[in-house]
Structure 1
Amino acid sequence: MGSGKQVSRSAHIGDAGIALIHQRVSAMDHVWHERTVDAGIDGTIELRDPATGEVSNCHLQVQSKASDNDFPGETADRFHYDCDERDLDYWMKSSMPVLLVCSHPKRGEAWWAHIQSYFADPARRASGRVDFNKITMSLEGDVSDRLFAVADPHGRAHTPVADLRDETLESNLLPVTMPDVFWAYDAAVTLPRKVYDLQRESSLDIRDDFTLFGGRLLTWSPVEDTALAGAVNGDPTIEATGELLDGSPDSERVLVRLLNNAFRQDLRDDCAFHGKRHMLYFRATDDLSPRSWNTSGTHWRSVFKPHAKKTNPSQVSYYKHAGLKWQFLNLDDEWFCALTPDYYYSIDGYRESRFTAQYLSGIKRLERNPAVLGETRMWAAILAGREGGHDSLFSQNERILDFGKLVTFDTDRGIDEAKWKRAAEASDPTDPLADGELAETA
């Protein structure tokens, strides 16, 4: 009995991979054009403007690599693909963007990378390897904004428009109420560091809530029987805080300094100050054990935590401290504090890690809006004096400043958060801390 025509298994898998791309492209309302002759490109995507339905004359070339087996190094999160050098040379010479799409057609999974952008890095070009992150590089759902960003980086063919819908936006602004009066003394010294030197000599608790201006030491409460007593001469005058705002730039700067120092004083028991970064951060616990803060009754956020070495989980690589940068703003004669969450990294709970820049770069690439919002809400709760820590030290101390709730705004326009998230992730899908251990030295 003669054998009929057969289609090889590899050809069948290849066709299935192209069919999956066609399906995903059509689901986004774009046009797929398949090539009948494959010379390193399997087809093109012609993008349609979703706002108008018109084809945009923006094209993306696509090379499909499909497999029913795992790709090299494949895990639940990632894999890599080693490009043929001749294919890579061909793709890099193209005047149109080239997308490499790797897929498992049977599982309905596909991932993509923009070749020219990815291999603009000489080290990547030399390796010929694409490292795929399955979450950030997935070809699933509507990734039109990212495709337009690749095909038309100047935005001439497609300008996204905010949706018409009601939304409440939560800002990072906290209303602040300050004392009605301040105390003004003749200063015994002219430099802030000299004030601190005198305070240390007193053996009393050091105070941050002061500033020097015009030969006077201004503070939010009397200095008698405190460490500041040795830094002043004579009796004080008690002045209205509003008198500092006489409309001159100097007066507002003085008030902002007083507010900044009151802020430091209010959080002094639990937070250290990083002068160069103008940031407060949680101090280490006495035994270097983790510490958390309750943000919503059931959800705890870490404010101090040791991180183990990947190569030796029994050893600590670094300690991460929740931190905060802030700015006091006078908006239409109302005062607000703008909160910007940050982090401090130490090698022993105290001394700053020399890899702080790398750690910060890594976490800012990985953290998205919900995480930043959670940190902002946590600091807002701390500043409002709400219970939350295991020891609740913040709520036990008398505060100089009082804070309200985060300011919200109502709007009739909204954005697609999922698209913004995907676009942010697409900018650099790699984790800079994933490829190796940073060697910390004490």
Structure 2
Amino acid sequence: MSKRITDSQVLGELGETAIKKIVLETGFLYEQRGRLEAGTDGIIELRDPKSGAPLGKLLGVQVKSTESGQYVRENDNSFEYLLKPDDLKYWRTSNIPVIIVLWRKSDETAYWKDVSDCVRGEERRLKFDKGTDVFDPRSADRIGALTIDRRTPGVFLPPLNKGEDAIINLLRIRLPDEIFISTSPFGSGRDAVPELVKHGNVRFDWVIRKRRFVSFFDPREYGTRAIVDLDQVEAVDTKLIAFNDEQDDLNDTMDLLRRTVERQTATQLSFLRKDRLFHFKAVGVGKSRSYRYMSNVNETSAKVVSAYSSKKKDGWGYVRHHAARLRFERLADEWFLVIDPDFHFTTDGFQPHRYPEALLAGKKRLERNAAVRGQVTMWQHLLVESGKHEVGLFDADKPAPLLQFERLPVIQLSQAVPESSWNRTDPRAKEMEAQDLFEEGGVG
């Protein structure tokens, strides 16, 4: 009878080869045990990604391969796996950490767990989280942490991730070449508004302070002609005001920038003067809405207004709006806009919620890096788009935006700080954990 290699043997070899590839892509070393293994298919040795030096830190790997089909109690977020008693008994006697990696050929997914310390007593059931237990290079620091003997003080393990890109929550502002100044019969903007609203074609992206009017547009062409001394209007180089070190000029420039952004984004955003907060507008009472934008990779969308129904029978619970505090900073000879993501809460999309602090507390205990990064990217896209002048068939007379915005280059960090690493070791991680800023909850 001729020798045979079973499909099960081939599948096992495919699984171990796939896992070995991931280990090597992570920057670690992988040594296959061969035929004389009794519960560990291979050994991983950690390696310093900067120097390339092996670290002498070892852990065992057991690969369990399957062709297709679902795991026990599998859904979109998790599944379970039952360990064999003999395997568990063997791993518990090991003097190095042991991980189990489940590989499925049909979708080429791989998930892992530490089997040395994550099951207690007679318990043999492992619960896998599809979000945090993926076996890929991002799990490097979590895997490395298993090799540290926490009973020995002073043990050091260098960061094992190779680094990541970081976006800066700043936008460079391109100012108009000219700024208009004039004297005004009114001492402040508050004094001038009652007269302004008596006239047509009004706008509010201007500043009056100490009887001086400042704007990026010619006030004689709008209703603002009623609140300036017309014979005193002149256009000057923007640098004379925006880059002057006088405190009044700095204050006027920051106020003017904020008012100009408010006008440029008025179709999407509302501004709360009391809270100094920009937030996405609702499209209707108790209605959710999404905003499409270009991320670093492709076009995506975020639910920027989410309506949540009340658990009681008294109507809507609340509406959550994505929001941001936009600050203006002058650094050297340039102006920048600083984006600080936040939230705004209403009862129906329009009326302010009576207890926003209580709702905000649950959302802001812990802002995950990926979620905050997504919000910053979204706000950057909105602001950059607001500064573009795209004239179509029906808006030929539409004036060009007064401000343009530019993204800053992405910074390459030498080391990454994966949230999953501290999330598993910080004893307060669970109680601090908040929902994702871009959760797809809500109704409508």
Please state which band the TM-score falls in when normalised by the shorter chain. 0.5 to 0.7
AA partner of residue 263 (structure 1): V
Partner residue, 2:77: 77
Do residues 384 (structure 1) and 388 (structure 2) align?
A: yes
5 Å-filtered alignment, 1:46-195, equals 46-59=45-58, 73-79=73-79, 101=100, 103=102, 109-112=109-112, 132-141=128-137, 143-148=139-144, 157-158=158-159, 172-178=170-176, 179-185=178-184, 187-188=186-187, 194-195=190-191
Q: Distance in 2 between matches of 1:398 and 1:286?
A: 29
AA partner of residue 251 (structure 1): D
* Structure 1 position 282, deviation (Å): 2.8
Partner residue, 1:222: 219
AA partner of residue 326 (structure 2): W
* Structure 1 position 272, deviation (Å): 0.9
Q: In 2, are the aligned partners of 1:18 and 1:64 still within 8 Å (CA)?
A: yes
AA partner of residue 56 (structure 1): L
Q: Distance in 1 between matches of 2:169 and 2:160?
A: 26
* Structure 1 position 160, deviation (Å): 6.0
Do residues 263 (structure 1) and 261 (structure 2) align?
A: yes
Q: Distance in 2 between matches of 1:82 and 1:276?
A: 56
Gap change, CA 1:32 and 1:24, over 3 Å in 2: farther
Gap change, CA 1:326 and 1:80, over 3 Å in 2: farther
Q: Distance in 1 between matches of 2:251 and 2:364?
A: 30
Q: Distance in 2 between matches of 1:274 and 1:161?
A: 42
Q: In 1, are the aligned partners of 2:169 and 2:339 still within 8 Å (CA)?
A: no
Partner residue, 1:251: 249
Q: In 2, are the aligned partners of 1:149 and 1:155 still within 8 Å (CA)?
A: no
* Structure 1 position 267, deviation (Å): 3.0
Q: Distance in 2 between matches of 1:258 and 1:424?
A: 39
Q: In 1, are the aligned partners of 2:281 and 2:305 still within 8 Å (CA)?
A: no
Partner residue, 2:276: 278
Q: Distance in 1 between matches of 2:76 and 2:266?
A: 44
Aligned alpha-carbon RMSD (Å): 6.2
* Structure 1 position 143, deviation (Å): 3.8
Post-superposition CA distance 1:374-408 (Å, at most 9, x none): 552243112324479xxx99x97646623155455
Q: In 1, are the aligned partners of 2:341 and 2:375 still within 8 Å (CA)?
A: no
Partner residue, 1:242: 239
AA partner of residue 423 (structure 1): P
* Structure 1 position 309, deviation (Å): 5.8
AA partner of residue 326 (structure 1): L
SS class of match (1:367): helix
Do residues 423 (structure 1) and 418 (structure 2) align?
A: yes
AA partner of residue 144 (structure 1): A
Q: Distance in 1 between matches of 2:117 and 2:221?
A: 65
Q: Distance in 1 between matches of 2:111 and 2:325?
A: 38
Gap change, CA 1:305 and 1:161, over 3 Å in 2: closer
Post-superposition CA distance 1:101-121 (Å, at most 9, x none): 4636787754345799999xx
Do residues 373 (structure 1) and 370 (structure 2) align?
A: no
Partner residue, 1:402: 403
**Structure 2 regions of 5+ residues with no counterpart?**
1-11, 84-90, 149-153, 425-429
AA partner of residue 402 (structure 2): L
Gap change, CA 1:377 and 1:234, over 3 Å in 2: closer
Q: Distance in 1 between matches of 2:125 and 2:192?
A: 56
Q: Distance in 1 between matches of 2:117 and 2:193?
A: 55
Partner residue, 2:349: 349
Q: In 2, are the aligned partners of 1:266 and 1:399 still within 8 Å (CA)?
A: no
AA partner of residue 147 (structure 1): I
**Structure 1 regions of 5+ residues with no counterpart?**
1-13, 84-90, 120-127
SS class of match (1:47): strand
AA partner of residue 371 (structure 2): E
Give the number of equivalent residue pairs.
391
Post-superposition CA distance 1:105-154 (Å, at most 9, x none): 787754345799999xxxxxxxx998643143211356435534665799
* Structure 1 position 260, deviation (Å): 1.8
AA partner of residue 348 (structure 2): D
Identity of aligned residues (%): 18
Post-superposition CA distance 1:19-74 (Å, at most 9, x none): 9977865675335699x999xx9997541224444221445688999999966642
AA partner of residue 54 (structure 1): A
Q: In 1, are the aligned partners of 2:140 and 2:161 still within 8 Å (CA)?
A: no
Q: In 2, are the aligned partners of 1:307 and 1:320 still within 8 Å (CA)?
A: yes
Partner residue, 2:326: 326
* Structure 1 position 75, deviation (Å): 1.0
* Structure 1 position 284, deviation (Å): 1.9
Post-superposition CA distance 1:287-330 (Å, at most 9, x none): 6474655769x957467554566999xx9765454545434344
Q: In 2, are the aligned partners of 1:81 and 1:130 still within 8 Å (CA)?
A: yes
Q: Distance in 1 between matches of 2:377 and 2:57?
A: 36
AA partner of residue 140 (structure 1): D
SS class of match (2:263): helix
Q: In 1, are the aligned partners of 2:29 and 2:46 still within 8 Å (CA)?
A: yes
Q: Distance in 1 between matches of 2:200 and 2:309?
A: 40
Gap change, CA 1:51 and 1:270, over 3 Å in 2: closer
Q: Distance in 2 between matches of 1:397 and 1:346?
A: 33
* Structure 1 position 348, deviation (Å): 1.4
SS class of match (1:180): strand
Q: Distance in 2 between matches of 1:159 and 1:433?
A: 28
AA partner of residue 136 (structure 1): T
Post-superposition CA distance 1:224-253 (Å, at most 9, x none): 9848957x8998564734333433455323
